[in-house]
Amino acid sequence: MKRVYIVKQGDTLRSIASDLLGDSARSKEIYEANKRAIEADLDHRRRHANKLVRSVLPRMSAGYWVGPGTVLEIPEK
């Protein structure tokens, strides 16, 4: 059975990797396993953001930032 995690406000891929896998450097594994969901969430937020927020979104690294409510598959420990 796959392990899933629902992103909460304030989570980053690094914090999720640290908490669930014991190593923040494994954030890239989480990103690669969930690239479609993460990118889709970021694209959705860009399309629906106001002008001020839209100016900040391009500076966010899609490999680091992930929106609340995004469902992630977590690799094995």
17-73 pLDDT, tens digit per residue, is 999 999 999 999 999 999 999 888 877 777 776 665 655 555 555 556 788 999 999
Tell me the pTM: 0.78
Count of domains for the chain: 1
Encoded tokens for 41: 């969430």
User: 9: domain range?
Assistant: 3-74
For 41-56, b where at least 16 C-beta lie within 10 A, e where not — what string? bbeeeeeeeeeeeeee
Average pLDDT over residues 8-15: 92
* 4 — pLDDT class (breaks 50, 70, 90): very high
